[in-house]
Amino acid sequence: MSRSGVLAALAGGCLLLGLGVAAVALPGKEKAGRKAPVPAPQKIALLDVDYVYKNHAGLKVMKEALKKEVQRAEEHVKRERGEIAALQERLKQAAPGTSEHKSAEEQIQERTALLNIDITRQRKAFLQQEAAIYYKVYQQMMEEVRSYAKANQVTAVFKRDTEPPNLDVPESVVRTINKSVIYCEDGLDITPIILKRLNDKNPK
């Protein structure tokens, strides 16, 4: 083969190699230039849970009913303490060693012990009832929040605290400074909407 033929063959080979490289490189360039999908903007909302609790009509009704139960229990305790006090007066007047003195002493001990047990039991029961009331309202609140969020394409709902600080109470000022939400547009706060839904479904 002449020198010119060899050069032509080499040139042809280089051209083919170049085409081969280009053929392999092109897919890579397409991949590198492909943009990642941009996530859709997320819609959020804010809710002042404490404000809802303070203005929930149904909660006020249930707390008032519980308050009446507590008052009845307190009246019972007051009557029992009055009767125990009467027994203590009998004990003072009775001569030590007599059957009357011994009977009054035993009654005082027995009724005092029973009254203390009753007070402890009632206090625990009332605390449990109060917790159940607040949890019931919380469940109602979450149900309304979920319903609103699904209907309005809201991705997440965060708590906020709108209560102004009491400058005379340092803890109140610290709580305000440590708020998670510093600023938000008015349209993000769904508290009035959720509160209205709850009050429309609960007795005034």
Higher pLDDT, 158 or 36: 158
Q: Which parts of the chain fold into alpha helices (H)? A: 3-33, 49-55, 57-93, 99-151, 170-177, 191-201
Q: Check residue 163 and give its pLDDT.
A: 87
Q: Are 135 and 115 in contact (CB under 8 A)?
A: no
3-state secondary structure of 109: helix
Q: What is the mean pLDDT of residues 56-64?
A: 94
What are the angstrom distances between the C-alpha of 171 and each of 165, 166, 174? 9, 9, 5
Q: Check residue 32 and give its pLDDT.
A: 55
Distance CA 152, CA 130 (A): 33
Which two structure tokens, joined as six digits, stand for 106?
């035993």
Q: Check residue 77 and give its pLDDT.
A: 96
Distance CA 192, CA 78 (A): 43
Q: Check residue 25 and give its pLDDT.
A: 44
pLDDT at 2 over 60: no
Is the model's pTM score more than 0.75?
A: no
Higher pLDDT, 181 or 24: 181
Q: Check residue 143 and give its pLDDT.
A: 96
Q: What is the domain partition of the chain in residue ranges? A: 1-38, 44-201
Q: Are 160 and 148 in contact (CB under 8 A)?
A: no
Q: Check residue 184 and give its pLDDT.
A: 80
Which two structure tokens, joined as six digits, stand for 46?
């804010």
Q: What is the mean pLDDT of residues 43-56?
A: 94
Higher pLDDT, 36 or 154: 154
pLDDT tens per residue across span 86-116? 999 989 988 988 989 999 999 999 999 999 9
pLDDT tens per residue across span 121-176? 999 999 999 999 999 999 999 999 999 999 999 999 999 988 888 899 888 899 88
Residue type, 107: Q
